[in-house]
Amino acid sequence: MNNQRRKVLKTGAGAALLSALAAAGIITPNMALAEWNRAAFEAKNLADALKAMGVTVPLSSKDAQLTGPDIAENGAVVAVGVNTTLPNVSMVAILIEKNRNPLAVSFNLPAGTEPNIKTRVKMAETSNVYALLKSDGKFFMVSKEIKVTLGGCGG
């Protein structure tokens, strides 16, 4: 399935679809363009990434969950998810403490979007994984340790 999606995008059908949606007024250029926080994505440690994102002291929340395997047999593709019942969530980010660049992904959510994110991240080694959420202007964080095995052998 992933291969088919790449073929469609390579043939230009993906660009044609985006153009058609824009022409119909379904999406605007601002919706199609991603915001890029270069400093946060290039930060070399968790504290610098949080600082670049404007986070001082994130709060903990029982209303947010970070899902992922306890043990990932392949650090190149680790499935993680973030789900919350916090109100008015405008941003969800996933940070991996021991990666060379901790900020793995950041999603800006338009108003009314359900804050339920699932993605795959790359992990260099066993690490704490953090989900950072922005709700009503406040930052919340939850974490989970994910162990990465070598070669899928548990070593």
Contact present, 128 and 144 (Cβ < 8 Å):
yes
Clarify whether residues 21 and 61 are in a common domain: no
Integer Cα distance of 122 and 125 in angstroms: 9
**27 and 85 both lie in a single domain:** no
Name the residue with tokens 């929340």: 61
Residues 61 and 27 occupy one common structural domain: no
- Do both 55 and 27 map to the same domain? no
69 shares its domain with 45: yes
Q: What is the pLDDT of residues 98-150, one digit of tens each?
A: 999 999 999 999 999 999 999 999 998 999 999 999 999 999 999 999 999 86
The Cα angle at residue 86 between residues 56 and 121, in degrees rounded to 5: 70
Give domain status of residue 52, yes or no. Answer: yes
> Which parts of the chain are beta strand (E)?
59-60, 64-67, 71-72, 78-84, 89-96, 103-108, 116-121, 127-135, 138-148
Q: Are residues 129 and 78 in the same domain?
A: yes
Shared domain for 19 and 58, answered yes or no, is no
In terms of phi and psi (left: phi > 0; alpha: psi -120 to 50; beta: otherwise), the region of 17 is: alpha
Domain count, the chain: 2
Q: Same domain, yes or no, for 5 and 73?
A: no
Please tell me whether residues 84 and 106 are part of one structural domain. Answer: yes
Q: What is the pLDDT of residues 44-103, one digit of tens each?
A: 999 999 999 999 999 999 999 999 999 999 999 999 999 999 999 999 999 999 999 999
- Give the range of the structural domain holding residue 78, as residue numbers without chain letter: 36-148
Same domain, 80 and 117: yes
Residue 155 lies in a domain: no
- The phi and psi torsions of 99 (rounded to 5 degrees) equal -75, 155
Same structural domain for residues 15 and 76?
Answer: no
* Residues 114, 88: Cα–Cα separation, whole Å: 9
57 and 86 co-located in one domain? yes
The span from the CA of 117 to the CA of 100, in Å, is: 23
| pLDDT level of residue 36 (50, 70, 90 thresholds) | confident
